[in-house]
Each structure stands twice: as structure tokens, then as C-alpha cells.
Amino acid sequence: MKASIPKLVAEKYTELKAEYGNIYLSKIGGRFYLYKVSYADQGKAGNKSRTSEYFGRITEQGAFIKKSATKEEKELEKAMAIVKSHGMLLEPQKQNERPIKSGSETVAPTVTEEEAKILTILSMNGRARMKSIGKLLGISAQAATRKVKALEIKYGLKYTAEFDPYKIGFQEYVVLIKFLDKVPTTEELRAAFEPLPMVQLCALVKGEYDVLLYVVADMEIKAGESGLDVLRNRALQNYQCLWYVKAVLATYGFIPTRPQFFEMLADRIWHRRPDLKKPPLYSIFERDYKVLKDLNINGKKSYQDIDKDNGLPQGSARYSYYKMLESGLLKRVTICQTNLPVSYVGIIQFNRLYIPAFQASRDNLRFDVIADDNLVSNRYTAIFNVRDPDGVLLIMPMFRGGNLNKKTDELKSKLKGVEFSNTVITGLIVGDFCYRRFDNSYSMQYENLAREKKIETEKRRIPYSEL
């Protein structure tokens, strides 16, 4: 989405920048806010720290309203305190990065019972038939179609494929980067990471690190290089930086895969050969590859159109879809809500220091994850188990009025034997998060509680895949 700044705003911004020096413009919720940047020496190494302070705003008519902020603006400044340093900054006529979308709500929007049901159904099976949705709601298929379309517009629903990269030979990583000298611009970061098909998400973060990457890399070593070697050797060669690489395993939610990922997956397509009766491990049939690739872009694309566009025999896409579901490669077609009033995305990480104490208290985390707040999306967008050090990474949307430190303190009181830290994502450069309303009775956390008989009455689950 390309940022646009009205001419009068741009002219006033240029005038103020000439007068005050280091100020930056940020568009938040349709308004244009100014932040003044200052630098301070940090230690003997000559490094400088960079901080920002709210300075005022510019109206669309080009009027400058200085910091003598109204109550509303003070609340906005507090809620958007994460917009610091190089986070969410815009220059006139430039798109430096995509800020986390925000709206006018002060808290996460609640939903009606009917909206909750529809969003949950679509999160669990984005290809559910309108007749089936209508039956669950007690309405006609025509009425269900109207209600679904209304929610598609209201929440900007995008349909995509959720699949397991490990089943086709790819490992997930979270990479944190800290720059030791100069920090690249967002254009330089985008130029470095966007062309790389292994990078699914690149985000600016506030705190100890500067950049966070979510990477899906080939587990095989080719030409003496692993996928991560390729990443480190090709990106940011002109910058001194430290890379903290953590192999992770998703235990809840997911981060969407970019279409560029399929450039790597193409190398794993298996074609039948007389001398090889069975496909090798971590390979994929060409038909399955084409279907998965199309569903990743548009999860609602009809089987007929997939067959036609890929030159497949009639019925191939339907067969492949259910085959991949059965094998577990394809988990589901789901939705991502792209129009939510998310102020920022928070990350809470904890390392397990004393395993017995954590195990005695981990059910508190499981219950926290599966809690239904009657909101438009789940409490967490993704959760990863982290290797070396042994820990957990929780990624959650923070709506205006949300408090990441308060949530961290809440978890601290519930979990023992762990060490906590948190950070804030201030802007996205590559990729996106997926906000949805997943039925938590299908989550690993719920299933573990049910298996261990920690839940008194097991919830009767809807067979979503049959809808």
C-alpha cells in the first residue's frame, strides 16, 4: 500500500524540517504526526543512541499544531510510543515501510455471536460452502453469502493456504539482527531481503535488536552452503552487524508464506522416472506444487480455474487438495484479516531456566493461549518453540489501549522457572502477520489439556474440513 502525503502537508513538513532539523513525519490513522529525533553518545565505542519525541501534527490544510497536545493526542502519543527511532517513518513521496495498521478504536473490537461464528468457520476452512455455513448459522445459503461478503469488506479478509514447511524439507527460523555501526534505511533493508525467497517476514523492532526476520530455509546443504549461509552471505554485506539465529517450531498460528517461497520449492518438484519408483523424501509432485502455489495466493480460487490455469486434467486440483489435507502438508485454507485496528505487534519471549518449575506451571500458559476474549481475532497470532536457548516466542497484536508490559507481567505471575523479555515491532518491511479467529479447540494447547484431562468437559468440535 503506497503512502500518500497531501501537498499542503508535505510543504509544511519541508518548512518545519528546515527550521527544526531532525524531525520525521508519521501517518497514523489518517493523521500526520511529527517526531523530533535526537542522538546521544553511548559509551567509548563512539556509538550513538537514537530516540524520538512527539513534536506535534500537521493538518491536511497544512496547519502545524505544536505539542501542546489535547487529551486525545496525549493518549495517542502514549499508545503509539513505539513509533520511535526509524520505526514507521515517512518522507514525502516515499514509502519507507508499512506501519502496522491502526484504526479509531481504543480497544480490540468485539464481535457479535454470529460474526464470531462466521470468522471462526472461515479461519478453519476458508473454502467452506455457503450452504454449510448457513446451516450452522440457521440461515439460508444466500443470507450466508451476504454476511460473509460483508465481513470480507469490513475486515479485509484474505484467503490463503496454511501448510507445514517441515513436511517438504524446510526449517523455520527467527533471526534477530543488531547493527554495530550505521543502520540501513528501510529501502536498503527491503532491497536486501525482499528478493530472497526464504525471507517470509522482515520487521523493524524496538529495543536491543534492530530487525527481526522470519525465515523458512532449505534443510539441505547445497554447494557447501546452508540456506542461512546464503542469507548471511548475500544480505547486508556492507554493514557491521550481529546475527542471532534461532531455529523455531510453530506450536500455534503461523506467519503467511510469500509467493516467492515457491521459487525455492520448485527445486523439490519430483517428476516420475523409470529408475526411481518412489519420490525421494521432502519432494512434492508437480500437480501438488501448482495447486498449493495457487491456493497460497488465493485460497478461494476454484478447482476448475486452478486446473485450467495450470494445464491440469479436470479434477486434478480437487484430488490434490484433499490428498495434501490428508497427508498434513496442507493444514487448511484460512483467512487473514488485513483491516484491524492494530497499533503494534508485541513479542514476548521467555527462556526456560528450571524445567521442573516450568512444567508444573505450563498449564497456565496453555489456558491463556486458548482463552476466548470474544474479540475479532485470537489473543496470539503465532507461538514458536525456540531451540538453544530453550524457550518460547509469543507474537500478539496490541490494539490501542493494550499494554505489552502489563501482559508480560501477567505471564510472569503465572509461569515459574522462566526468564522473560519483550520487544515491539514498529513496522513491516517484507511480509505480513495473519490475524484470524482460529477455533482453539483444535490447537495443540487445547488438545494437550484434553489428553491430560485438565479440561473437565471437552468441547464438541465442529468438523470444519467437511463443510
**Domain shared by 438 and 346, yes or no:** yes
**Domain shared by 113 and 214, yes or no:** no
Indicate whether 33 belongs to any domain: yes
**Domain shared by 221 and 330, yes or no:** no
Indicate whether 271 belongs to any domain: yes
Indicate whether 1 belongs to any domain: no
- Structural domains counted in the chain: 3
**Domain shared by 226 and 364, yes or no:** no
**Domain shared by 177 and 77, yes or no:** no
Give the pTM.
0.75
**Domain shared by 224 and 149, yes or no:** no
Q: Looking at residue 413, what is its pLDDT?
A: 93
Domain range for 29: 7-96
Indicate whether 329 belongs to any domain: yes
Indicate whether 17 belongs to any domain: yes
**Domain shared by 345 and 398, yes or no:** yes
Label residues 29-52 b or e (16+ Cβ within 10 Å = b). Answer: beebbbbbbeeeeeeeeeeeeeeb
**Domain shared by 285 and 322, yes or no:** yes
Q: Looking at residue 345, what is its pLDDT?
A: 92
Q: Domain holding 143: CATH number?
A: 1.10.10.2890
Indicate whether 2 belongs to any domain: no
**Domain shared by 341 and 244, yes or no:** yes
**Domain shared by 242 and 262, yes or no:** yes
User: How far is 350 from 392, CA to CA, in rounded Å?
Assistant: 6
**Domain shared by 386 and 334, yes or no:** yes
pLDDT by position in tens, the chain (length 467): 345 788 888 888 887 877 777 787 877 667 787 877 765 554 545 555 556 677 788 887 788 787 654 444 444 444 444 343 333 333 333 344 555 554 434 356 788 999 999 999 999 999 999 999 999 999 999 999 999 999 999 999 999 999 999 999 999 999 999 998 888 888 999 998 999 999 999 999 988 899 999 999 988 766 556 667 777 777 777 888 888 888 999 999 999 999 999 999 999 998 877 777 788 888 999 999 999 999 999 999 999 999 999 999 999 999 999 999 999 999 999 999 999 888 889 999 998 888 899 899 999 999 999 998 888 999 999 999 998 778 899 999 988 777 889 999 999 999 999 999 999 998 999 999 999 999 999 999 999 998 888 886 666 788 998 98
Q: Domain holding 205: CATH number?
A: 3.30.70
